Structure formats: C-alpha cells, structure tokens
Amino acid sequence: MTAATDVPPQGLLERRFHLAAEGTTVRTEVLAGVTTFVTMAYIVFVQPAVLSRDFAGHATGLDPGAILLATCVGSAFASILMGLWANYPIALAPGMGENFFFVSVIMSVTALGIPNAWQTALGMVFVSGVIFWLISASGIREAILNAISRSMRNGIAVGIGLFITFIGLRNTGLIVASPGTFVTLNPHLLSADMAVFFAGLLVAAALQVRRVRGAILWGMLTAAVMAFALGKVQYAGLVGLPRIQQMAIFRMDVAGALRWSLLPFIIVLVVMDVFDTVGTLVGVAEQAGFTKNGTLPRANRVLMVDATGTVAGACLGTSTVTAFIESAAGVAAGGRTGLMAVVTGVLFLLTLLFSPLVISIGRYMPITAPALVVVGAMMMQNVAKIDWDDFSEAIPAFLTIVGIPLFYSIADGLALGFVCYPIVKLLGGRAREVRWLTCAIAALLVVYFLLVRARVG
C-alpha cells in the first residue's frame, strides 16, 4: 500500500477552495456567505430607486426592473468569479457612491445636449472598467494610488456620505426647499412619510449600535411593514421575475462615451473604483489574516475580478460594480475562502425571484431613505483619517467635502478639490509633494470646468 492511499480523497469544494488549509468548513463558509448577503442586500432595494430617478426626481430612462436584473446578475457574476478565481471572501455589487455619481453623470450628459444620456453613462462605466482592467494587468495602479493623497481619498468618501444623506433626507421629505435659506425643515412632521422614515432609521441605528448583522436591511424592512400598514405601498406580489419595459442589456453607448468633454468623468470613475477596491481588499485581508510579509496573495486577481465586474455591470445595465466592505461581516462570521463569495452570489440570483416585492418597496422613498442616511453616517468615519494638521492636505479635502453636497454634484465637488490640491501645494512651497499624475488630473478637470461646465451654465 502506498502512502498516497492513506490520504483521504478530497472533495470538489476542498480542492477548489482549500478549506482545511484556511481552517474553515463548508458550513462556516455558507453561514458567512449568508451573513455577507444580509449586510449588503439593501443595495437590491436602493439601486433601482437611485438609478431610475435623477436628483431632481426626473426619470433617467433606466427601467427599475432592468436595474434590478442588472444589479442581481452583475453582483452574482462578480461575486462568484471572485470566489472561484481569486478565492477571496469578498462579495461585489454596485457601489454606494458610484451609483450616485452615475446619476450625476447622466445629468451632466443631459445638460450637455448629448443624446442617449443613460446609454452614454453606461458606456463610460464600461470604458472605466476596461481602463481599470488594463491598469490592474499592467501594474499602473500603484501610480494612481500614490497620485491621490490619503486625505483627499478620505475627503471624497466623506463628501459622498454627506451627499447621500442629504438626498435621503430630501427624498423622504424631512427637508424641503426654502427661498430664503435654500433648504429648511419640513413643518409637516406628523405624516405617514415621516413615521415610516423614522421607524426605519431608528431601528437600523439601534441594531447598528448593537452590531446586529444586516441592521440596514432590518431597518428598511421595518419601514416597509409600516408603509404597508399605513397604505403607502400596495402589495404587488411576492414571487415573480422582474417586469421590464425597456431592457438595458448591451445598451451602453461606448462610442458616445469617448468624447473629450466626458474624459474627466471616466477618470473619476476609474479613481473611485481603484480606491474602493484596494481599500476593501486591504481591510478584509487584514481582518482575515491574509497578509504575508507585507503582501497579499492573489491581490492582482481581486483587482482583475473587480474590473471585470464593472465591465459586466455596464453590459447588463447598472453602475460600477465593486468590492463591498460589508464582506468584513462575513469574515467576522468565519469566512476565509471564496466559497463565502460564491454563496453570496447565489443568494443575489435567488433575490430575482422576489422582484415584485423588491420593486414595490424600492419605489417608496421613505423606505430606502434610512439606508442612505446610515450609509452616509458610516462614510463619515473617514473624516478622522484626514490630516487636519497639514492645511495643504486639509483645505483641498475640506473643499471636496463641502463641494459635493453644496454643488449637488459629486463630479463638481471632486473637481474643485482635485484642482485646488496641486495649486495649494505649489503656492505653499510644497511642490515636491505633488506628483505629475496629480497635476495631469487637475489640468483635465480645469478643462472640464472651463469648457464643459461653462457650456452647461
């Protein structure tokens, strides 16, 4: 008898995911995948509501059913690919922040008079995904990461968090327009909309304090139950596939996206995706103990999967698909391999079977608004990572933070901060700290301000 016969045969899952080597089991990975899905399932409800309407409440042209299909299939594809190829416990879905920037792009394209605004925006997401893929394959990502300072990266996150919160409060009617002060508190607080919103917000916040998995989702479901009880949402069925009036699959306009006036938007999409993915990768890898001698095994595969997910998402009809930091919840539950991501991906596909319920809940803004507020609060944590003692870092970051919500445009807020950053450094005698790529990005955004925004105005 040879030594080989003493070794028990390995199952398919063991051979694929190396469960024993990572000190985990199938049961643990499945539970971790379910945990991850519960913590990020809110995106399924929020995404159709966000992408189908612009910030003024006008239709973008994207059908809610088509968005739901793209969200679930895109998330499933990218998560399963992450599990099978990269073997990392990281799930992917359309990113919060990127989805609002996508709507901002649609509004800018519309204002420029470019036809097929949402198709062009999808084309820009597609191009940004291809660029990210090439960056990941060539190793240029280090240059991009070094070009944008830590303070500026965190300032972007904080600004988007404030913007998301502002939109959530406006969507639910808590704040309203005011001629004298631009916005003010809605005097009609005793309404069904307010009751639904605050019920969802308080439950989500309380569960978040108690560190309950899926706190945001439970808050939304609480708001949904109250909305049904108050007659604000009509029951449209529980089980069924999405009803789609206009498909978005392969409707991206790549040729229309390749305009000089739209180049700054594509650059910002790439930058946001790069930083989101790297930040999530580092955070999850550190929590799971994957870092070895200061390096992460198969890190390049994670970036390639993320870029592929973005390209696939654009083909399906949704905004940038990226790695979700909520994957850390699954890691905390014991997930250590790609099997966790595969389980999460399968659950996204199963969600499609409940599309009537998802769409009916997502259409009523006070139900989804609590998710926007809580996510905004989470993104505000990044303000502590800004170097406030260095004014050459703090002032551009601050301009980005206030510019995004006050301009009511992520693109314009980002442009303000990025343009001011190298100028403040140069005038402050800190020219050596400015990289050439930072200046190139700033120059492109100056062109954006002078030519693109001037035309819109």
pLDDT (mean) for 41-57: 88
Please write the tens of the pLDDT for every residue from 130-159: 999 998 888 676 666 667 788 888 888 888
Please write the tens of the pLDDT for every residue from 190-238: 899 999 999 999 999 999 999 887 788 888 889 999 999 998 887 777 7
pLDDT (mean) for 171-193: 86
Please write the tens of the pLDDT for every residue from 51-105: 998 887 889 999 999 999 999 999 999 999 999 999 999 999 998 888 988 998 9
Report the alpha-carbon distance of residue 370 to residue 385 in Å, rounded: 25
Work out whether strand 182-185 and strand 175-178 pair parallel, antiparallel, or are unpaired: antiparallel
pLDDT (mean) for 424-430: 92
- 124 vs 439, residue with greater confidence: 124
24 backbone φψ class: left, alpha, beta (φ>0; ψ -120 to 50): beta
Residue whose entry in the numeric block shows the structure tokens 């070895």: 292
Report the alpha-carbon distance of residue 247 to residue 81 in Å, rounded: 24
Tokens of 235: 């029951």
Which residues are paired to 292 by β-bridges? 295
Q: Is it the case that residue 6 has pLDDT exceeding 60? A: no
Please write the tens of the pLDDT for every residue from 334-379: 889 999 999 999 999 999 998 888 888 877 889 888 888 888 888 8
Report the alpha-carbon distance of residue 190 to residue 329 in Å, rounded: 36
pLDDT (mean) for 102-123: 91
pLDDT at residue 455 in the model? 54
Report the alpha-carbon distance of residue 336 to residue 293 in Å, rounded: 19
3-state secondary structure of 178: strand
Q: Is it the case that residue 396 has pLDDT exceeding 90? A: yes
pLDDT (mean) for 371-400: 90
pLDDT (mean) for 175-183: 84
pLDDT at residue 452 in the model? 58
CA-derived radius of gyration, the chain: 22
Residue whose entry in the numeric block shows the structure tokens 């063991």: 14
- 3 vs 188, residue with greater confidence: 188
Q: Is it the case that residue 117 has pLDDT exceeding 90? A: yes
pLDDT at residue 347 in the model? 94
Do the Cβ atoms of 287 and 278 come closer than 8 Å? Answer: no
Q: Is it the case that residue 415 has pLDDT exceeding 60? A: yes
Please write the tens of the pLDDT for every residue from 265-302: 898 888 888 877 877 776 677 767 776 765 677 888 88
Candidates 341, 21, 270, 230; CA nearest to 128 is 270
Model confidence band, residue 7 (pLDDT cutoffs 50, 70, 90): very low
Please write the tens of the pLDDT for every residue from 304-322: 999 999 999 999 999 999 9
